[in-house]
Structure 1
């Protein structure tokens, strides 16, 4: 994709770095196995609290979330920004262990009926063989919507960013594959498979709300942010529907509302991508605690 970051030269995989990755993965696997031994609702509460109170603050995620919130909404009272950051971290933990609950999570999502005008468009494309790009952000749990659609017979693949820790990446990819549809790593080989699947009339998921170096600067939650336009470019190139969709966590912390919005009209990549930004901004404005404020979405030093 034209707006993907240039490949950086990989650092030598030193013994010290390998050891750190191995030990940190042992910790992660230990948490996952402990959590999976618990009843489902207790499991989500346990990992949500663990990430909220211990892991995220240690990793600096809480501070980053607060910095992002201050950047976007400086007029908002500090107490409210702190509440959003706290609930964001809890949602992050819940989403993580949901995605590792390869049996329980898909079964629960099979009960969530997708709604919205995009659902009829998806059904029509399924009959005609038109390609579909389902676009979302790191909001609620994006895998919830995919699992709901897969339970209804839709084969939906995706493009993922490989983790720096290869030990963690190995089992992380398996969780993505467990929800149905092929998944492709970012990069030349993965993108080629992604495009081939799309050209054959496939349905694929793209997340577009992370910073991409050299990407165009568009408005996102009222602030300039570099935003990948590749989803729109692919939709135009292969005559694919571009449908914003969301898995919105409900107040019980366990169930989801799955929403497919109307397809974004084809025009040009910048206009279409701004429409995606506006769609996600509307969701974040309604329930800001569901977006992953922990990403380095804005880079004020980069012009």
Structure 2
């Protein structure tokens, strides 16, 4: 009886995955047919109106109140409204990652992408050393990896695959056509990441989400757990560490900003201090968040009650 139920459950799971895969293909085809601009407008419209119906909306509002104590209800509403809009646009733009940006490395002032810190891109590309680039879920966070590939910067993007298999496959297919190296965050991924740096390549990774086995950092005045792997590699390879963020601009434009290499804190032996290094990177992300709170992914449970020891009022 148990074996029969198990086979039935597996069959149902495969059937749902196939149905989801078909649905994702249809949505991607629809977004393609609309064009990047209209697809983004539709995605933003749907997310603005449907997002507040989901539990993630409560998470977003709680996060905003944690990050900005004393914020008005009207401002919470504005930020969540615009954050849903940004998320919807980003989701719709996945179908257009290969054509979304018009970026020419030989003429960076043309097209729909502005680059700030172009000299740092060039240094990373030409110094013959490994390098680390951290980022956060701002605007369309896929764009740095696309621009790096077009700029000739050998970079491997470390990503967390979506839980839904069909969605993960669809996104990976699009990413593989537009970016350089890709490495899923999974068991054993650290060995692949180490290999990238040993070959003189560059690692890019988002560091603004909860990581259960992480180190504690102060983020917006509250403790949060973050993945320490980039700091560990910085310590081992003594390589430059830069931050990169994307800002969504009016008129279907984006701005990419690459920071100078961070001066990371060191211990008594002169080696990079891992918790201190992650705190330094987090401070950069915090500055980005204060600049553009409406373009961050507030729907993720970044702060956990076991660390903060707080409960927000209704």
Tell me whether the two structures share a fold, i.e. TM-score over 0.5. Answer: yes
Q: Which residue of 2 aligns with 1:207?
A: 206
Provide structure 1 residue ranges, at least 5 long, that are not aligned to the other structure: 1-10
1:124-158 Cα offsets, whole Å, 9 max, x none, are: 23223111111001111222223223222223221
Larger Rg: 2
Q: CA deviation at 1:264?
A: 1.2
Is residue 264 of structure 1 aligned with residue 265 of structure 2?
A: no
Q: Which residue of 1 aligns with 2:97?
A: 102
Summarize the alignment of residues 190-269 of structure 1 with structure 2, pairs less than 5 Å apart: 190-252=189-251, 254-266=252-264, 267=266, 268-269=273-274
Partners of 1:170 and 1:138 in 2: how far apart?
20
Q: Which residue of 1 aligns with 2:291?
A: 286
Q: Which residue of 2 aligns with 1:32?
A: 28
Partners of 2:13 and 2:24 in 1: how far apart?
16
| Aligned with 2:55 (options 40, 49, 60) | 60
Q: CA deviation at 1:121?
A: 3.5
Partners of 2:223 and 2:158 in 1: how far apart?
25
Is residue 274 of structure 1 aligned with residue 279 of structure 2?
A: yes
Paired residues in the alignment total: 289
Q: Which residue of 2 aligns with 1:4?
A: none
Give RMSD over aligned pairs.
2.3
- In structure 2, relative to structure 1, the CA distance for the partners of 1:276 and 1:35 (3 Å cut) is same
Q: Which residue of 2 aligns with 1:8?
A: none
Provide structure 2 residue ranges, at least 5 long, that are not aligned to the other structure: 1-5, 106-110, 267-272, 309-314
Q: CA deviation at 1:293?
A: 0.2
Structure 2 length-normalised TM = 0.84
Structure 1 length-normalised TM = 0.87
Q: Which residue of 2 aligns with 1:149?
A: 148
